[in-house]
């Protein structure tokens, strides 16, 4: 599902940015719109190395005008996504992108700026915060509260009634049992299994997940 009134600017032309643009193409399939006419990539000036990507214009941030554009920030790392969004003009209009091959309950609530990839599942009475990214085949169970700038990598599994604070990153195939709470600015490593509340910032790995201590 893609609803927009203006042109589309995808901030980021790396892996997630390219995937997001492909999702937009999928959403526009069969419509009157041509992607190269209504969408652009936006990149920080230091990352501007090519003028097009997939035949779609790439514009350095210093030369981009936000007027008449809706913005989708497609940066994979949660804290960096938050930093970029907070640096944009106050009146920026944000786009939400829900792939038609995802499954989102009609009783779920999604805030602005989310990216929901194909194969992702979001169950009933779950709330997804602003600018969250739910990647391929990730699942969010019922009655969860997911904070802003959350990232679920491919195959991540969040069981029901979990509460997750902002800027939490779940690696590929990470799993969390039901009724768990996770503090802000936490990274769950790929394949980790979370079986109890996490109350401190940091990186957690293993089964059961334990905090990775700095040496």
Q: How confident is the model at residue 206 (pLDDT cuts 50, 70, 90)?
A: very high
pLDDT at 36 (0 to 100): 86
In three-state secondary structure terms, 180 is: coil
In three-state secondary structure terms, 15 is: helix
The predicted model gives 102-120 an average pLDDT of 98
* Options 93, 142, 177, 181, the catalytic residue: 142
Q: How confident is the model at residue 1 (pLDDT cuts 50, 70, 90)?
A: low
Catalytic residue check, 142: yes
In the predicted structure, residue 84 carries a pLDDT above the cut 80: yes
Q: What is the pTM of this model?
A: 0.94
Q: Which domains does the chain have, with CATH numbers?
A: 7-94 (3.40.50.20), 98-205 (2.160.10.10)
Give the CA angle between residues 66, 109, 76 to the nearest 5°.
50
- pLDDT tens-digit readout, 11-50: 999 999 999 999 999 998 888 888 888 999 999 999 898 8
In three-state secondary structure terms, 141 is: coil
DSSP bridge partners of 39: 8
Show contacts of 184-192: CB within 8 Å, 24+ apart.
184/147, 185/79, 188/156, 190/153
In the predicted structure, residue 155 carries a pLDDT above the cut 80: yes
Q: How confident is the model at residue 189 (pLDDT cuts 50, 70, 90)?
A: very high
- pLDDT tens-digit readout, 127-154: 999 999 999 999 999 999 999 999 999 9
Handedness of CA 18, 24, 30, 36 (dihedral sign): negative
């Amino acid at each position: 599902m893609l609803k927009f009134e203006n042109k589309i600017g995808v901030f980021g032309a790396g892996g997630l940015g390219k995937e997001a643009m492909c999702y937009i193409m999928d959403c526009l399939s069969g419509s009157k719109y041509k992607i190269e006419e209504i969408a652009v990539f936006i990149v920080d000036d230091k990352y501007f190395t090519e003028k097009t990507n997939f035949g779609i214009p790439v514009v350095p941030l210093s030369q981009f005008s936000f007027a008449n554009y809706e913005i989708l920030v497609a940066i994979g790392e949660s804290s960096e996504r938050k930093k970029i969004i907070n640096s944009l003009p106050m009146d920026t209009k944000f786009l939400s992108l829900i792939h038609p091959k995802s499954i989102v309950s009609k009783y779920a609530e999604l805030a602005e700026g989310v990216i929901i990839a194909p194969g992702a599942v979001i169950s009933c009475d779950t709330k997804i915060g602003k600018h969250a990214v739910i990647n391929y085949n990730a699942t969010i169970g019922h009655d969860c509260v997911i904070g802003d700038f959350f990232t679920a990598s491919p195959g991540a599994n969040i069981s029901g009634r979990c509460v997750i604070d902002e800027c939490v990153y779940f690696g590929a195939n990470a799993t969390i049992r039901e009724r768990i709470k996770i503090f802000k600015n936490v990274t769950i490593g790929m394949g980790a299994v979370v079986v109890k509340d996490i109350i401190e910032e940091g990186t957690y790995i293993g089964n059961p997940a334990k905090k990775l201590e700095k040496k």
